[in-house]
Structure 1
């Protein structure tokens, strides 16, 4: 019997190890992307169900807002505790458990017989969803290391796919079955995604497992002040996006758009937004964070003013490009979080970042709405453009904390 040379066996083992090393990041990105699509779909399908719940439980608009707020409040409020917990428990385990809890919440919602039961179910589901953003972002960041900007953009984009698919699927299910049965089917999908995470996703590791004195000292030097600037940019960027979306339907109406035309216009904006999330992460990796942020925020301000001033048809034509600029900054910012934190604090940093941006997205429409009551929608919309421009000096302040910007100088 022929005996294979040891050198040949060594080459085979090396090739297998290299293939495994390449497959782990891809498996991580695929699993977290699927999970992101599910959770963002879970978040937005509530909008489809609000009219159904209003008819079922005779809810006022105020109570409907409370139902929506229970889910988003639990999701936002628990992200920082989840980030701290991930320093002691493998992020993969927490992601799978969180997805199971989110799905269980929808099971309970489907079984609920009262408003109180429905509210508690949404709290449970929102609590499960709190694991998704900080832990999945940190998992992708760790899997790809310094090359994580582009993959984080893909991860960010995957959420838009879920927002488009799951609410639409739920709306179709409501035509052929009751909302309770539809939620049970949606929950089954969540359980299957949790199973995929448990079986297919590589281990992430605990935050403390990535800690070393040198890495922590380096992260502290890079992150001193830098993360605060990044968080401020993220909060203002989210405020611009949600503030503009608050007024866009009214601007289109005042330009003479019918309801179907407004729907098409919004769809064009969202398509542009999804494209921006996908492309700007890669753009940030190639031309630098600061240049990309200046480009997207400057473009956002200019295009918001264009939508304000142009007639209906040209304004609609501009909307896809505005969507790219409006949403593209977020992918660049997500990709910058790991550079400004030490490796053992990645989950905590993402948790704080997402809490700030989600909280800003919830409060900004209220603040801009009050401004709109006082000054009118056009001037309030112009204020969102001014907010986008206000981000530019903050981006310049951030530049000194980023290694790629220092090298570019």
Structure 2
């Protein structure tokens, strides 16, 4: 089957997203093992994710800005090689503080993927399939996320968390380097991405004037959504551990969560092409908040079923937010605005594990989850203030 250029671009961006999310998501199911090995408190656990995601957010804006002038292919390739080498470095960390330093280095490379790939896809599918294509791109990351706990359950239980990180890092770097030239010829050989609107008659070039006030409201709502997502992903396995689940079984929580999240991303993106996107955000946030609350009060074996629905809501919202960034920004400056959006939202998300880790140490983990419940619901009224009628 012969694929047209837009489909090739979507496949390429999705594959890079799978690898990038595998790199970063591998830490969530590994945190219970790292915490047990290094005897860490909740705040120390949260700081690991804060450092990784905080570092990732630092280069989001520069990467997005550069992508307006430089080939996305090379930016995405450099980013995945960088973070892969960082993951290899973390695998040899012999102390908590060295682990934090190497996490900072690895996280910096992880910031290239989201703004650059989102810009690439959003300017390829301008109008008719915008939310659907962003949903597919977003879904692809969950393939990497689903793979992460499977790898952890297979490798870590037998050889330890360091070996797991080493294997993932070597695999990712090798794959990226070995496929550089074939992918460059397959997708980018005509060097026609700058003129893609003229070369693809299926795409309608829609002019959108950027409203900074509208964009800021969307970014604030997205930032709160990131706070909820990163906090839940960091501490969800510890909720199950506190209820009696063994550490070695916590990978199952992430497998179920990410399967639900993958479906949520695809369907949320698809539905947003046919129904008001803000309504989809409201539905996913209600599902997230009450699923999270239910997990605190029911037996953990039954709660595993609820985790599936939690995943749908928790990760599904992001497809709508990312597609909405494209709806409120000028296509010619979209790399810059995606960079700003991801810097703000992931920056807010990055500090949340540390903050809620401290809350969990001072009070308990349930208090932290109650606070997340309130923040999750607050996303809804803020989102309804965003105008997506462009």
- Alpha carbons 2:243, 2:300 under 8 Å: kept: yes
Structure 2, unaligned runs of 5 or more? 199-204
CA spacing shift, 1:386–1:290, aligned 2, 3 Å: same
Q: Deviations over 1:180-234 (max 9, x none)?
A: 9744444211213444442222457469x99xxxx998423xx231111111111
Equivalent position of 1:7 in the other structure: none
- Alpha carbons 2:32, 2:238 under 8 Å: kept: no
Matched, 1:201 2:191: no
Equivalent position of 1:402 in the other structure: 388
1:61 and 1:130 mapped to 2: Cα distance?
A: 27
- Alpha carbons 2:49, 2:350 under 8 Å: kept: no
Matched, 1:160 2:150: no
Which piece of structure 1 moves more, 243-252 or 291-300? 243-252
- Alpha carbons 2:6, 2:124 under 8 Å: kept: yes
CA spacing shift, 1:169–1:152, aligned 2, 3 Å: same
Which piece of structure 1 moves more, 267-276 or 196-205? 196-205
2:141 and 2:89 mapped to 1: Cα distance?
A: 24
Matched, 1:137 2:118: yes
- The alpha-carbon deviation at position 123 of structure 1 amounts to 5.7
- The alpha-carbon deviation at position 241 of structure 1 amounts to 2.0
Q: Deviations over 1:281-325 (max 9, x none)?
A: 112112121110111112222222322333444433222112111
2:29 and 2:248 mapped to 1: Cα distance?
A: 18
Structure 1, unaligned runs of 5 or more? 1-18, 405-409
Matched, 1:219 2:179: no
Equivalent position of 1:321 in the other structure: 309
Equivalent position of 2:4 in the other structure: 23
Which piece of structure 1 moves more, 308-317 or 331-340? 308-317
Q: Deviations over 1:323-365 (max 9, x none)?
A: 1111110111111111111111111111122222222222112
- Alpha carbons 1:277, 1:329 under 8 Å: kept: yes
- The alpha-carbon deviation at position 170 of structure 1 amounts to 7.8
Q: What count of residue pairs does the alignment treat as equivalent?
A: 374
TM-score, normalisation: structure 1: 0.76
Matched, 1:44 2:44: no
- The alpha-carbon deviation at position 65 of structure 1 amounts to 8.2
Which piece of structure 1 moves more, 251-260 or 384-393? 251-260
Kindly report the root-mean-square deviation, in angstroms, between the aligned alpha carbons of the 2 structures.
Answer: 4.0
* Higher-helix-fraction structure: 1
Q: 1:81 aligns with which of 53, 62, 66?
A: 62
Matched, 1:282 2:264: no
Matched, 1:386 2:374: yes
Matched, 1:240 2:228: yes
TM-score, normalisation: structure 2: 0.79
Which piece of structure 1 moves more, 256-265 or 147-156? 256-265
- Alpha carbons 1:237, 1:388 under 8 Å: kept: yes
2:269 and 2:238 mapped to 1: Cα distance?
A: 31
Which piece of structure 1 moves more, 291-300 or 160-169? 160-169
- The alpha-carbon deviation at position 263 of structure 1 amounts to 4.5
Query: What SS class does the counterpart of residue 145 from structure 1 fall into?
Result: coil
Equivalent position of 2:176 in the other structure: 190
2:215 and 2:379 mapped to 1: Cα distance?
A: 15
* Structure with more relative contact order (C-alpha pairs < 8 Å, separation 6 or more): 2
1:195 and 1:88 mapped to 2: Cα distance?
A: 21
Q: Deviations over 1:101-147 (max 9, x none)?
A: 44555677789999999888766654443221111111111111112
- Alpha carbons 1:276, 1:324 under 8 Å: kept: yes
